[in-house]
Amino acid sequence: MIDYVGILAIVFFYILILVVGIWAGRKTADTVGEQTEEVMLAGRNIGTLVGIFTMTATWVGGAYINGTAEALYNGGLAGCQAPIGYALSLILGGILFAKKMREEGYVTMLDPFQIKYGQRIGGLMFIPALLGEVFWSAAILSALGATLSVILQMSMSVSVILSAFIAVFYTFTGGLYAVAYTDVVQLFCIFIGLWVCIPAALLQDKTTDLSRNASDWLGTIGGTRERFLWGDSMLLLIFGGIPWQVYFQRVLSSKTSSGAQKLSFVAGLGCILMAIPPALIGAIARNTDWELTDYEPWSNGTKVHSIPPEQTNMVVPLVFQYLTPKWVSFIGLGAVSAAVMSSADSSVLSAASMFAHNIWKLTIRPDANEREVIIVMRFAIILVGILATAMALTIQSIYGLWYLCADLVYVILFPQLCCVVYFHRSNTYGCLLGYIVGLLLRLSGGEPLLGFPATIHYPMYDEATQTQYFPFKSMSMACSFACCIGGSLLSEFLFKKGVLQPEMDFLGCVVNISTERIALPSDTSFNVSCETLAMQKMRSTTNNGSENSSLLPTNGGSTNGHPSASEMTALHPAYDAHHDYLSTDAR
């Protein structure tokens, strides 16, 4: 039977988020016309306090809450890795990348790749980044669908589709200003809603005292091979949680580089603190005799002592629905639903921003104006929403989605990001080699969640469960890292020592540098026409190899990771080589 009072609670929280989003979105509307930097980065005007809230709230969404509770219910505290892993990833991201990326003034996480390796080769990095954002969005939508299916008594599929429509509509109409300020409201909703529900759930007589059987909900890791798998998963969460556009979008929107670091550090601590309520909810569910409640998992009068495995992704809404009074469950369910909706727009906006700026603007149509880029971004929002919905309907385990969304990012993007930021001798050959090796090694290990069989059975492989206990994901990442560095050094040695002729440098990144790889700065690139690039390319073809090499440096088209003055002044005579061309002050 449909619970209309519960629906009203959801509607109230949705309206609250929507009103805040519309109010915050007016900051973008106050600018002279729609500017891509205003929509994507809120004009780089996000303060440290708001940045901390939006960074924390982005990670602490519905997937974080439901996934943490599900993991603790299934395997105890020892199996609940994601909160600690992602919190450490935020702290390490602040140490390694936040300050450096913000000082460079990039627009998206993919900018350094396209500046150093060229627009088209750098665009390959968009594939794992997009898949990561889609998987993450799917986990968010799946969490919201699980919540609404409990309240509205409708199927999971209908709930996910409805949730996706709401999230896409909200994202379509708002920019980063709206996302950031709704995240602040979201965090307060989560904090108040969860802590109101926990005491109510503990006070009823269907749950045993948590302290009496603490060893049960604390859980264990297992034997040797389980520990290898646990360690591999933890490394994946820590380092795979860094190269995300949803993270760098907040870092790059910060007013200062020091503020970008601070929000990363504090948000990491905030993630651990905000994991306490869902962890307690998972422990409560684990210590509850569900036969004493009105819970009927198959709606046929059959009751069970514990939640069936196929429904453990709904631990949080089930605790709210059956272990708390009605008015308390409305607060909890409404708060979680509003939180999920606010988190979904962050991930969808991040993927759409990368496509509009890095793929459409810098690769497909360099002469596109800002209005066209914004229109493309909004169409991309719809497409990403559709892809995320398909994933949410295909894979049921929220925690499985959580791991999967960081998988390709960890194996491919993390070593590439380290090389492009810190290893200045890296080039396109090393980049491609590391990309291909990492992808092949990762896929060779199989993926049960997607039905991919393992083509390589690593040590400790379990035939019965098709589980790779060997840490092959970390091995794949390490091999990708080594190939990126080794391939770059080897190609540089072979070309510069004359072992290979300059004309064999077909990627044009060591000695035969192509002018197609001229960096396009974000704030001025909208004024660079295709004709300008064509004239520069035509002019370079009349020169010999040595003159072409003198135009652009041999280090991947950059000097210490920066575009050289010669390549930039060729396009912009007024270009200042010492000026931060990607900062808001450049306009």
Cβ within 8 Å of residue 74, ≥6 positions away:
309, 312, 399
Tell me: the pLDDT tens digits for 254-272? 888 888 898 999 999 999 9
Query: Which residues are bridge partners to 462 per DSSP?
Result: 467
Tell me: the pLDDT tens digits for 203-239? 888 887 777 666 666 777 878 888 999 999 899 989 9
φ, ψ (nearest 5 deg) of residue 297: -60, -30
φ, ψ (nearest 5 deg) of residue 543: -90, 160
Residue 135's pLDDT band (boundaries 50, 70, 90)?
confident
pLDDT reported for residue 508: 79
Task: Identify the burial level of 189 via C-beta atoms within 10 angstroms of its C-beta, where 0-12 means exposed, 13-18 middle and 19 or more buried.
Answer: buried
CA 114, CA 518: separation in Å to the nearest integer?
A: 9
Residue 468, classed as helix, strand or coil, is: strand
Out of 94-108, 157-171, 217-231, 494-508, give the one with best mean pLDDT: 94-108
Identify whether the C-beta of residue 359 lies closer than 8 Å to the C-beta of residue 123: yes
pLDDT reported for residue 535: 44
Tell me: the pLDDT tens digits for 484-519? 999 999 999 999 888 888 888 888 787 766 554 444
Task: Decide if pLDDT at 146 tops 70.
Answer: no
CA dihedral over 150, 152, 155, 161, signed as positive or negative: negative
- When pLDDT is averaged across residues 279-285 and rounded to a whole number, the result is 89
pLDDT reported for residue 101: 92
Q: Which carries the bigger pLDDT value, residue 530 or residue 258?
A: 258
Q: Which carries the bigger pLDDT value, residue 336 or residue 127?
A: 127
Tell me: the pLDDT tens digits for 330-383? 788 777 776 677 677 788 888 888 898 888 888 888 888 888 888 898 899 888
CA 155, CA 35: separation in Å to the nearest integer?
A: 41
Span of 21-35, 266-280, 319-333 with lowest mean pLDDT: 21-35
- When pLDDT is averaged across residues 43-67 and rounded to a whole number, the result is 81
Cβ within 8 Å of residue 102, ≥6 positions away:
251, 252, 254, 256, 257, 260
Task: Identify the burial level of 574 via C-beta atoms within 10 angstroms of its C-beta, where 0-12 means exposed, 13-18 middle and 19 or more buried.
Answer: exposed
pLDDT reported for residue 482: 97
The DSSP bridge pattern shows strands 461-462 and 467-468 to be: antiparallel
Nearest to 364 by CA among 240, 520, 508: 520
| Domain 4-407 architecture | Up-down Bundle (1.20)
Task: Decide if pLDDT at 526 tops 80.
Answer: no
Q: Over pLDDT 70: what percentage of the chain? A: 78
Q: What is the DSSP string of 442-453?
A: HHHT-BGGGTBP
Residue type, 56: T
φ, ψ (nearest 5 deg) of residue 559: -120, 115
Nearest to 109 by CA among 486, 411, 368, 409: 409
Tell me: the pLDDT tens digits for 320-331? 888 888 888 878
What does pTM read for this prediction?
0.79
Task: Decide if pLDDT at 33 tops 50.
Answer: no
pLDDT reported for residue 107: 87
pLDDT reported for residue 422: 93
Identify whether the C-beta of residue 449 lies closer than 8 Å to the C-beta of residue 395: yes
Residue type, 123: G
Task: Decide if pLDDT at 50 tops 80.
Answer: yes
Nearest to 156 by CA among 307, 311, 282, 290: 311
Q: In this structure, what is the dihedral angle of CA atoms 348, 358, 28, 264, given to the nearest 10 degrees? A: 70
CA 145, CA 345: separation in Å to the nearest integer?
A: 15
Kindly report, as residue ranges, where domains of CATH 1.20.1730.10 are found in the chain.
4-407
- When pLDDT is averaged across residues 453-465 and rounded to a whole number, the result is 88
Q: Which carries the bigger pLDDT value, residue 379 or residue 140?
A: 379
DSSP state of 313: G
Residue 556's pLDDT band (boundaries 50, 70, 90)?
very low
Residue 288, classed as helix, strand or coil, is: strand
Look over the chain and give the mean of its residue pLDDT values, rounded to a whole number.
Answer: 77
pLDDT reported for residue 45: 76
- When pLDDT is averaged across residues 176-192 and rounded to a whole number, the result is 80
